[in-house]
């Protein structure tokens, strides 16, 4: 799918820098975005626009909506929506930083960074809890069907809707549990990643089993661990053809379907949450033709 930002479907990089940015009121956002569109994104960048910005730039994109905060059974899901999201993907931390700075410089007349986070690959793609993350991700054509816009509007073909949540772990709380209790939280065995035959109803993979939703709720998850002076956790990133699958899963995780809360909340909780639309590309450059950038 050559109209999709290549970093969406590519494997996880070894290092990343995530930026979330707000627009400066009254600034010329169109001009800044045109500068950003000069960049060849390759697999190095994935870029998403927030719903208020898209609306201001004149695109009536009905499927785009702000991340909604949720009150679950004993757990809060916050919304920290911003205007722009940049995922800088690299083989080393310096490269991720320099690439992110390139974007910041191109955008500086109209956008400022409100949240910066560095991510990294842990071993072969494990969450910091030690469990493999991404096993049940759709592959090939199924990944395209799950992650990319499926409507008839040609200008939107190749675009994607991404939900981003920074989860903060309590790794000591997880480590204090027996191996069996930890495996029950995820619903898989840490030692060999096998799905537990009798996983409890609160097990994460039971809560989120993609084919158990009506309609089925497939997502392309591209999350990466983070760790800094404020703690550690997972930067959860899920691309969808819309936000419907993510929202259905989130509601079930927090117990709004049946009162059963996902075991993940025993050692982790989200501290941010935002939705972005990732525009299509043309020859590797952001294709902003659907927006009125006059």
Minimum separation from the CB atom of position 160 to ligand HEM (A): 16
Question: According to the binding rule CB under 6 A, does residue 186 interact with ligand HEM?
Answer: yes
Question: According to the binding rule CB under 6 A, does residue 249 interact with ligand HEM?
Answer: yes
Pick the binder of ligand HEM from 246, 286, 287, 290 (CB under 6 A): 246
- How far apart, in whole angstroms, are the C-alpha atoms of residue 208 and residue 133? 13
Residues 3, 144: contact at Cβ < 8 Å?
no
Joined tokens for residue 172: 């000591």
Alpha carbon separation from 61 to 46, 56, 153 (Å, rounded):
19, 11, 11
Minimum separation from the CB atom of position 149 to ligand HEM (A): 19
Alpha carbon separation from 139 to 92, 114, 142, 221, 269 (Å, rounded):
26, 34, 5, 11, 28
Q: How far is CA 134 from the centre of its chain?
A: 13
Minimum separation from the CB atom of position 172 to ligand HEM (A): 15
Residue nearest to ligand HEM (CB): 136
Q: Which residues contact 276 (CB under 8 A, 6 or more apart)?
A: 48, 49, 50, 84, 85, 161, 162, 164
Region near ligand HEM per CB under 6 A, out of 51-59, 88-96, 170-178, 201-209: 201-209
Question: What does residue 133 show for φ and ψ, rounded to 5 degrees?
Answer: -115, 130
Question: According to the binding rule CB under 6 A, does residue 222 interact with ligand HEM?
Answer: no
Joined tokens for residue 162: 């991404």
Question: According to the binding rule CB under 6 A, does residue 268 interact with ligand HEM?
Answer: yes
Which residues from 127-146 bind ligand HEM, rule CB under 6 A? 127, 129, 131-136
Residues 276, 85: contact at Cβ < 8 Å?
yes
Minimum separation from the CB atom of position 196 to ligand HEM (A): 11
Alpha carbon separation from 171 to 69, 167, 225, 249 (Å, rounded):
25, 12, 13, 24
Region near ligand HEM per CB under 6 A, out of 21-29, 84-92, 115-123, 125-133: 125-133
**Closest CB to ligand HEM among residues 6, 196:** 196
Region near ligand HEM per CB under 6 A, out of 22-30, 46-54, 243-251, 283-291: 243-251
Q: Which residues bind ligand HEM (CB under 6 A)?
A: 127, 129, 131-136, 165, 167, 186, 188, 204-205, 208-210, 219, 234, 236, 238, 246, 249-250, 253, 264, 268
């Amino acid at each position: 799918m050559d109209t999709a930002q290549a970093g969406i479907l590519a494997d996880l990089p070894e290092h990343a820098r995530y930026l979330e940015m707000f627009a400066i009121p009254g600034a010329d956002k169109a001009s800044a975005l045109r500068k950003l569109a000069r960049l060849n994104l390759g697999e190095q960048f994935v870029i998403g626009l927030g719903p208020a910005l898209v609306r201001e730039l004149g695109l009536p994109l009905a499927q785009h909506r702000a991340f909604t905060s949720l009150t679950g059974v004993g757990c809060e899901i916050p919304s920290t929506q911003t205007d722009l999201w940049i995922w800088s993907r690299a083989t080393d931390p310096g490269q991720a930083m320099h690439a992110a700075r390139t974007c910041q410089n191109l955008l500086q007349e109209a956008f400022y960074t409100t949240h910066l986070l560095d991510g990294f690959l842990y071993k072969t793609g494990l969450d910091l809890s030690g469990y493999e993350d991404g096993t049940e991700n759709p592959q090939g054509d199924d990944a395209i069907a799950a992650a990319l816009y499926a409507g008839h509007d040609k200008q939107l073909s190749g675009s994607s809707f991404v939900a981003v949540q920074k989860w903060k772990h309590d790794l000591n709380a997880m480590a204090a549990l027996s191996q069996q209790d930890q495996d029950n939280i995820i619903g898989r065995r840490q030692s060999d990643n096998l799905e537990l035959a009798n996983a409890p109803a609160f097990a994460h993979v039971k809560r989120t089993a993609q084919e158990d939703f009506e309609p089925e709720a497939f997502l392309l998850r591209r999350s990466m661990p983070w760790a800094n002076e404020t703690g550690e956790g997972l930067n959860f990133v899920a691309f969808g053809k819309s936000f419907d699958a993510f929202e259905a899963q989130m509601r079930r995780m927090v117990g709004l379907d049946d009162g059963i809360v996902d075991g993940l909340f025993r050692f982790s909780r989200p501290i941010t949450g935002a939705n972005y639309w990732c525009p299509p590309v043309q020859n590797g450059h952001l294709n902003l033709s659907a927006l009125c950038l006059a």
